[in-house]
Every structure is written in C-alpha cells, then in structure tokens.
Amino acid sequence: MGIGPFVAEDDRAAERLISEIERKYSEVGVSIGVPEDKRSMVELLKHLGFQYRAPSLRMYRGDRKAYENHVYGILSPEKG
C-alpha cells in the first residue's frame, strides 16, 4: 500500500501521523516516497523499520516553487 501525498504542518505532526499509520497498517507492506529535502522523515522511517531505497525526485520547468515545505511524502513520482 502506498502512502501519499503526505502533508503535515511540521516534523512533529509528521511523526505523529506516520506513527499512527505504521501502527494501524503494521501487517501490510507500506511504501512512501520522501522528498529529498525531508531528511528528518527518512531518519524517522528508518527508525520505524522502513527500508530506504532511493530518493524521490521532482522535475521542474521554470523556477522551482517552494510548494513542498509541508510535503513529507508522495505516493510515486507520476502520481504525487
């Protein structure tokens, strides 16, 4: 099961949300793509037993927008 988009106000809120998701779906395989600037989320997920594969990449045309300030996870690059 994929998780995303995963949006939270800050690191603390993201931690509470992912902990609840992990608790509820611990028996199901769960995947989440983490934007490259959310190292704290990568570390939290590794602490919870998730396996790190590869960074999630985003493509931009023109100026990069700072929309991802509150995005902690995406489902997949093609789906967001």
In single-letter form, the type of residue at position 38 comes to K
The CA distances from residue 46 to 13, 42, 66, 73, 79, in Å, are: 17, 6, 25, 14, 23
Position 80 confidence tier, pLDDT thresholds 50, 70, 90: very low
pLDDT tens digits, one per residue of 25-50:
878 878 888 887 788 888 888 888 88
Give the per-residue pLDDT at 13: 92
